[in-house]
Amino acid sequence: MNNALHPDEALNLLLDTIDRLTPTRQPSCEVLPLEETLGRVLPYPVYSPIDQPPFPKAAMDGYAHAAPEESSRPPSFRVVGTVGAGERFPRPLASGEAVRIMTGAPLPGGTVGVQRVEWTRLEGERVYFTRPETAPNRIEAGENGRTGELLLTPRILSSQDVGVLAAAGYRSVGVSKRPKVAIFSTGDEIKAPRFTVPQSDGMEEALLPSKAIGDLIQQATVELDGRYIYDSNGYQLTTHALSAGAQVQFLGILPDRPELLKARIAEALHDHDILILSGGVSMGDYDYLPRIVGDLGFTILFHGLAMRPGKPTLGAIRAGKLLFGLPGNPLSTFVNFEVLIRPVVYRLMGLHWEAPRVRGTLTEDLRRKGTDRVEFLPIWFDYEQQQVVPLPYHGSSMITVLAKANGLIRMDVGVSHLPKGAAVYVRPIRPFY
């Protein structure tokens, strides 16, 4: 791992490999009703089959009117009907005529304006305008979009996007099929968690009553026996991959037995597009994964990245199937997924995705000694103040810092100091609210 690859180069290598394997790649799609598409990937542009709105309509309640009769001073109009939303007046308006109209209702032919109801006075069959109108109060046909115009570019569908599609008359849409991802945790030191978080009777009480947490402490002390840890990576990676839109299976914990590791990896390759394993990729006596990957006929794209955390990371490919070996430390696993695997999952669904970023100001100095790696640091971003607060942590095994962080910042190769007040870019890892 002396020739560690820059993480940006590693990502480009992965994405180029995917594109090269399928140069005219059109992702496999499935057609789903709109209400089932939230968070799914739309891999192609969508165009409108209609004008929006398809007819001129009233922007507020009032009176749609034709030109006034010349003798009418101040303007008054004979009210010849009422038009509600979903109704249509049967003929054009003649001079001196008006109809009572509701917001969203189609404007009759001959309409030259809509007078808001607050500025009118109705006397019998005539309506008088009490002050001049200052706005047209109408929405023209096609004002929100014309037939054939681009509605949506490729994207991850939001509820807003679903509303736009429905407004254009679409009831269903083709979305990319989700890549199948298999997750393994590895290591003889790992045990599956099994506790249920105790519930309190009221919101004002502590979530973990002293007796309940005391019982859990005693059970965990016996179970871990001074030599085991609970598996966090398997569950973190499973939910992380789900958040990227993948179809995920957590296939459990594998002990440090090379033949078993080899057999389980080979078996998982049949049914999955991506395999992710945590642990067993460094230089220890029990780090078997690089050798096993080679024995199974994978081409190793990289083993070792110039990044912190996550240096021992391995990426490999065989027959279009990708395998990632991630370090066992939970913070390394999290950062590696964000930096490398999330963009890969999206690219497999036909989406050229880049991580969002926002700009903020550092609240304190950041210094480091080694500058040969890109370093990703957990931070808290105060969105209202646009301030970036670095979070202290002691090594990449400190998973609890992720519960406090809502973003990551990076220090690039060659950078040893970011001064207080410096502008930095934040990569969100959760909503800022």
pLDDT at 381 over 80: yes
pLDDT greater than 60 at residue 91: yes
DSSP letter string, 72-105: -SS-EEEEEEEE-TT---SSPPPTTEEEEE-TTP
Cα–Cα distance measured from residue 54 to residue 270, given in angstroms and rounded to the nearest whole number: 50
Together in a domain, 36 and 171: yes
Cα 326 to Cα 277: distance, rounded to the nearest angstrom: 6
- Please give the residue range of the domain that contains residue 412: 358-428
pLDDT average, residue stretch 312-337: 95
pLDDT at residue 397 greater than cutoff 80: no
Confidence band for 201, pLDDT divided at 50, 70 and 90: low
| 85 pLDDT higher than 90 | yes
State the average pLDDT for the chain: 92
Length of the chain: 433
Q: What is the CATH number of the domain that holds 250?
A: 3.40.980.10
Of 348, 371, 403, the residue at which a domain comes to its end is: 348
CATH number, domain with residue 101: 2.170.190.11
Distances (CA, A) of 154 to 34, 128, 176, 357, 395: 16, 51, 11, 19, 38
Q: Are residues 244 and 337 in the same domain?
A: yes
- pLDDT: is 338 or 396 the higher one? 338
> Residue 411 — pLDDT band, cuts 50, 70, 90?
very high
Looking at the structure, tell me whether residues 186 and 94 fall in a common domain.
no
Whether the link from the prior residue into 309 is cis, omega within 30° of 0, is yes
Domain match, 61 and 48 both: no
Q: Specify if 43 maps to a domain.
A: yes
CB-based burial, 351-360: b 16+ in 10 Å, e otherwise: bebeeeeeeb
How sure is the predictor about 198, in pLDDT bands with cuts at 50, 70 and 90?
confident
pTM of the entire predicted model: 0.87
Residue 247 lies in a domain: yes
Pairwise CA distance, residues 110 & 90, whole Å: 12
Q: How many domains does the chain have?
A: 4
Residue ranges in 270-329 assigned as alpha helix (H): 289-295
Q: What is the pLDDT of residues 339-351, one digit of tens each?
A: 999 999 999 999 9
| Domain membership flag for residue 249 | yes
45, 62: one domain: no
305's CB contacts (< 8 A; 6+ apart) are 4, 5, 6, 7, 10, 311, 313
Residue 269: inside a domain: yes
Query: Do 185 and 327 belong together in one domain?
Result: yes
State whether 255 and 338 are in the same domain. Answer: yes
Kindly provide the residue ranges of all beta strands, DSSP E only, lying in 106-216, ordered along the sequence. 113-116, 120-123, 126-129, 138-139, 150-152, 155-156, 172-176, 180-186, 190-191
Q: State how far Cα 356 lies from the chain centre.
A: 9
Residues 119 and 263 in one domain: no
Note whether 184 and 302 are same-domain residues.
yes
Residue 283: Cβ within 10 Å count = 9
Domain end marker among 348, 376, 395: 348
Residues 392 and 322 in one domain: no
How confident is the model over 131-171, as pLDDT tens digits? Answer: 999 899 999 999 999 999 999 999 999 999 999 999 999 99
pLDDT of residue 256: 87
Give the residue from 318, 348, 378 where a domain finishes: 348
